[in-house]
Amino acid sequence: FGMAILRPGVPVAALALGQLLGLGVSLFLLVNGFGVIGVSIGLVATEVFCLVVTGLYFAGLHARQRMVRVRPARGHYRSMLGFTPHVFVSQVSFRITQQIDATVVTFFLGPGAAVIYAVHKKLAEFLGRLMYSIWGSALLPLSHMAGEKGASGIRSITLSIFAAIFSLLVVLYACYIVIDRPFVSWWISPASLAPLWLVVAIALARLADNALNVSSELHMAMGEINFMARYLTLSSLLSLGLFAVLPQILGMAGIPLATIAGSGSFAVFFVIAARRNFGLLAVPPTRLLAVLGAGAAILALATAAAAWTAIRTPAEQWVVAGVFGTVLGGGWIYLQWHQVRTFKHLSVQETSLSGSIGS
């Protein structure tokens, strides 16, 4: 709702802080001997925090501005219900695809492997939910701009948003590769840690999954809701088929590879469709290769750093992870700050030009 009325700040901040709060509560309870119930309490803490903060925020907005003054007309309900079957099926299949990997690991490789896989995936899931709040706050307001200016009027801003999201995905999952080992070592003995290749594969799987989310939701922002839902369902069916086949052939590696293949291929499809249907995300091939090469280099550097710290002490691992994250995060913030300054400069130029034309 906050995104729909172009007030996403507090809901996004509440979701991010709620995730950190729930993670902190779970860790505190686990360290103090509460067992698995501590994880459940942490999950509840996250949702309750988000519900209370956003509820109070919107109640305050409504009290001050009376945002809801009339009831929707019958035609509005018909329009919304027309999307329901497509969106419902796509969301159900998509959620099953996102949550079934632990079950697949248990079925093919046993509960011990499932525990190892789940604890290494937990931090990646946290980063994924954080990214969901970020790209949601960026893409849904984009639909308002598309309604006012059309596809041609939002091409530059769409490309900038996607560049920022893609680079942030690379930064976050590169940091995940480096920090995973010291993070998981808090509650699992080093002998039970997953090999580095599995951590890298999980990072690539989550990156492909997030890329599918953001590329498909661009079509929702452009009003192509049924198109998005239909092909999102096909993506989920492909991933489910790969989950049933690849683990039998490749073992544990087949789990993240199923997500990489299923989500990654349809992420590319949605990007191509956005370019073909709306002229969005039209990047020259040389620039695209440069961007992909830079992302691959950052992930390779993260893998090398994680391999180097694997034989170091936990304190040294945390120091390397902190320095790595600070450098990458600082670089990303600088680039976005520079981009914002460029947009402000262009806005001032357009205002001055319109004033001159008026004179």
> 55: part of which helix (H) or strand (E)?
helix 37-65
Question: What's the CA gap between 323 and 336, in Å, rounded?
Answer: 20
CB distance 2 to 8 below 8 Å: yes
Provide DSSP, 210-239: HHHHHHHHHHHHTT-HHHHHHHHHHHHHHH
Instruction: Calculate the dihedral angle through the C-alpha atoms of 318, 33, 121, 170, rounding to the nearest 10 degrees.
Output: -30
Concatenated DSSP letters for 284-314? -HHHHHHHHHHHHHHHHHHHHHHHHHTTS-H
Q: How many CA atoms lie within 13 A of 290 on its CB side?
A: 6
Specify the DSSP element, H or E, that contains 64.
helix 37-65
**What secondary structure does DSSP assign to 107-145, as a single string?**
HHH-HHHHHHHHHHHHHHHHHHHHHHHHHHHHHHHHHHH
pTM: 0.76
What is the Cα–Cα distance from 149 to 147, expressed in whole angstroms?
Answer: 6
* 298, 144 contact by CB (below 8 A): no
314, 181 Cβ separation under 8 angstroms: no
pLDDT in tens, the chain (359 residues): 776 676 777 887 888 888 888 888 888 888 888 887 888 888 899 899 999 999 999 888 877 776 556 666 777 677 767 666 777 777 777 777 777 777 888 888 788 777 778 777 877 777 777 777 676 666 666 777 776 777 777 788 888 888 888 888 899 899 999 988 888 877 677 656 778 898 899 999 989 988 888 888 888 778 787 888 888 888 888 988 898 888 888 888 888 899 899 989 999 999 999 888 888 888 888 888 888 899 999 999 999 999 998 888 888 888 999 999 999 988 888 887 776 666 555 444 444 434 444 44
Could you give the CA distance from residue 320 to residue 307 in angstroms, rounded to a whole number? 11
Span between the terminal Cα atoms of the chain, in Å: 41
Task: Give the CA radius of gyration of the chain.
Answer: 22
What distance in Å separates the CA atoms of residue 205 and residue 263, rounded to the nearest whole number? 8
For residue 323, what pLDDT is reported?
92
What integer pLDDT is reported at residue 354 of this predicted model? 45
